[in-house]
Amino acid sequence: MFKRLPGDEARNLVTTTPDTAVVFRPAVLKTPALVTLIIYGWRFLIALVRTLWRHPVASAVPVALGSLYAWHGWPLAVSVLGFVVLVLLAWAFLTRDSFARLVGWRLLAWWRLMSVYRRHWQAVMDVSGLARRINSRAYMPRLVKVQCDGWADRITVRMLDGQAVKDWTDRTDNLAQGFDAVSCRVALVKGGRLLLTFPRSDPLASPIPALPIPDEPSVGPVEIGKQEDGQPLKLKVHGTHVLIAGATGAGKGSFLWDTVRGLLPAMQAGLAEIWALDPKLMELSFGRELFQGRYASDPADCANLLDDAVSVMQKRAARFAGLQRSHTPTVEDPFVLVLVDEVAFLTAYQPDKQLRNRISAALATLATQGRSVGVGVMAALQDPRKEVMNIRNLFPDKIALRLDESEQVDMVLGDGARDRGALADHISPVPELGAGVAYMRLETSPEPVRVRAAYVSDDDIRAMVATFTTRGEAA
């Protein structure tokens, strides 16, 4: 941009040659060569110190080999290099876990940093619109560090001043495509810093067979499957309420039966009871003997069973008042889990208005007052809309399996869950690929976690019934 002349005289300038335009040339200030050398030398020194600080091991290796070569010749340098390589290989074969934790993942992180992220960083930031240019000066978000593990790359990023997390969550598709990843998830670490997660593999790609029944009685957390990072998925059921939402065939039954399977030893020991409501007559009825008579399918019977649960809750609250604030399972006061399959049939689609109001009131009472006295609710439904399930916010822990619409993700997991990577509407409808895959958001963490529940087959349920009833009769 040309600087305006005083008095706006630029428009009054004329030329004696009409065919020649007036050309303004900026003044050129010649910098002395010594100043230029000092500036470049200072920049090189800063870059060298930064490299040594960020990559001490990668910098020490060539320095050490170069020193050995300079002082003792190439045979010793090659011998030392070969010895170190053999030691690392032996370490990797003998104790793979410790090698991966201390060496392997760090080497992979350095390689991914240099070959992928730093190489494409500027281009991806520019194209995605996360970089800014002000007065011809470029401002770029800073790549702080890269960490790797068995399934994903985790990138710590320093945002530009004035940027918001939403600026990044709106561009997760751009980031994933730019760095050749399947998906990208954004999480706020602290003020100004983000953690970008780029999965490299998918441990949940294959169905998980039914997990073994625990040996020791416990009311949870119950192991029901696997998390995306390969760690066991343990679901808390005692001291909370769980809402499960998913389309038909998404695998809601896997979460229900895995929970029952994990609580079987506690049920046999008298420390837990499961009260089942099965209005569809197709899921929980297959193992109704496990519930010891606390099973209902008719809407009127479901309402009565819920009223009984409310009565148990209120009696416990009266006894616990002033004595204890949390529940410890005992034979006298076992943990009661109210299991409801397709709760929307009872709360929204039930034609009997009086019955519908009874059921809704009982569920709301249990959801607001039950967990402190050892009465929990686990409810499954297909349609998560507010008019279908108006008490969904009373469930601290929520699970979203495959959903039909992107808006339903936030309905189940809360506002902004889909922007943070909970793509429940993208889960495959093919049973082998997507059945039981879900995003879980717990009360203790706002970040959704991708998980997969183990598949409990009909034969597994028959074996559970046979084992439970045989031990019950023997007792």
> Which residues sit in the known binding site for ATP?
246-253
DSSP summary character for residue 406: T
Total residues belonging to the chain: 475
Beta bridge partners of 452: 226, 437
* R_g over Cα of the chain: 32
Whole-angstrom distance, CA of residue 27 vs CA of residue 458: 85
| Lookup: tokens for 380 | 């499954």
Whole-angstrom distance, CA of residue 44 vs CA of residue 34: 15
Backbone angles phi, psi at 84, to 5 degrees: -65, -40
Q: Which H or E run contains 75?
A: helix 74-94
Q: Side chain identity at 170, as an amino acid letter?
A: D
Whole-angstrom distance, CA of residue 208 vs CA of residue 456: 9
- Start-to-end CA span in the chain (Å): 92
Q: Any residues with CB less than 8 A from the CB of 263 and at least 6 apart, and which?
A: 219, 220, 222, 237, 272, 274, 337
Whole-angstrom distance, CA of residue 37 vs CA of residue 112: 33
Q: Are 251 and 437 contacting, i.e. CB atoms less than 8 angstroms apart?
A: yes
Which strands make up the sheet holding 335-340, listed edge to edge?
A: 232-235, 222-227, 449-453, 437-441, 397-400, 242-245, 375-381, 335-340, 272-277, 295-296
Q: Which H or E run contains 400?
A: strand 397-400
DSSP string, 236-247: --TTS-EEEE--
Q: How distant, in Å, are the alpha carbons of 3, 116, 283, 429, 459 from that of 249? A: 69, 38, 12, 8, 19
Q: Which residues are annotated as a binding site?
A: 246-253
| Lookup: tokens for 413 | 């997991």
The interaxial angle of helices 252-268 and 458-474, nearest 10 deg, is 10
DSSP summary character for residue 215: S
